[in-house]
Homo-oligomer: A and B are copies of this chain.
């Protein structure tokens, strides 16, 4: 497996016009970013998306794909991925990178334009580098490590033209709200000490 093999795949896939393609692409600069970036996959899964792992047998319904693409070690691979994103049928790309020179999200956004890219700074120190795009080069970012929110945001984009997906987003939210109500009542009724005693049992 070489970098060129992957480039060839992306270019061939862009020309293949296959029916069923992933809606969302998740890319990260290194597999050491995976634990942070897995939240994007988790959010999409919570919303009913399936991960495409075999392009020849794509899943039905909404799907996403996941790749490692390094801006600094494999700039040609990054270029090819971003350059083919629109033709391969991706509707949103979620791109995450760490370090102070987190170039992957920004370069992906510049090359894949007008496909929208959501940047995920993998570390706190990556925020400035991800968010700081010049006028004319749009990218939107979530906070450091908040890849789960990037997954939700990607779904919000798709939900603009799909009311069923919008309903799924609302159901997911309702569960979170109910959790707040439960714990709020519990804390109040037990009191601070009672709540902590029970929690620490």
A54–B188 Cα distance when bound, in Å, is 8
Bound form: Cα–Cα A141–B153 in Å: 11
With A140-B118, A182-B1 as known contacts, state yes or no: A132 contacts B196, CB within 8 Å: no
Contact with A75, one of B2, B67, B111, B128 (Cβ below 8 angstroms)? B111
Secondary structure class of chain A's binding surface, majority of residues? helix
Contact A110–B71 (Cβ < 8 Å): yes
From B30, B107, B189, contact of A54 by CB (8 A): B189
Which residues of chain B have C-beta atoms less than 8 A from A6's C-beta? 181, 184-185
Q: Provide the A97-141 mask, 1 if CB < 8 A to any CB of B, else 0.
A: 001111100110111011110100000010111111111111111
A5 engages B181 (CB within 8 Å) = yes
Closest Cβ of chain B: how far from A199's Cβ, in Å?
8
Within 8 A of B (CB), among A15-49: 29-31, 34-35, 38-39, 41
Copies in the complex: 8
A192 in complex: contacting residue of B66, B132, B157, CB < 8 Å: B66
Query: Whole-angstrom distance from the CB of A4 to the nearest CB of chain B?
Result: 8
Residues of A within 8 A of B (CB-CB), count? 100
| New A-B pairs, 19, CB < 8 Å, besides A1-B178, A101-B106 | A51-B191, A66-B192, A75-B79, A75-B111, A91-B160, A99-B132, A100-B129, A100-B132, A101-B129, A101-B133, A113-B169, A125-B132, A127-B127, A135-B149, A136-B149, A139-B149, A140-B140, A140-B142, A141-B141
Q: Which residues of A line the B interface, CB within 8 A?
A: 1-3, 5-6, 29-31, 34-35, 38-39, 41, 51, 53-54, 65-77, 79, 91-92, 99-103, 106-107, 109-111, 113-116, 118, 125, 127-143, 146, 148-150, 152-153, 156-161, 166, 169-170, 173, 176-178, 180-185, 187-196
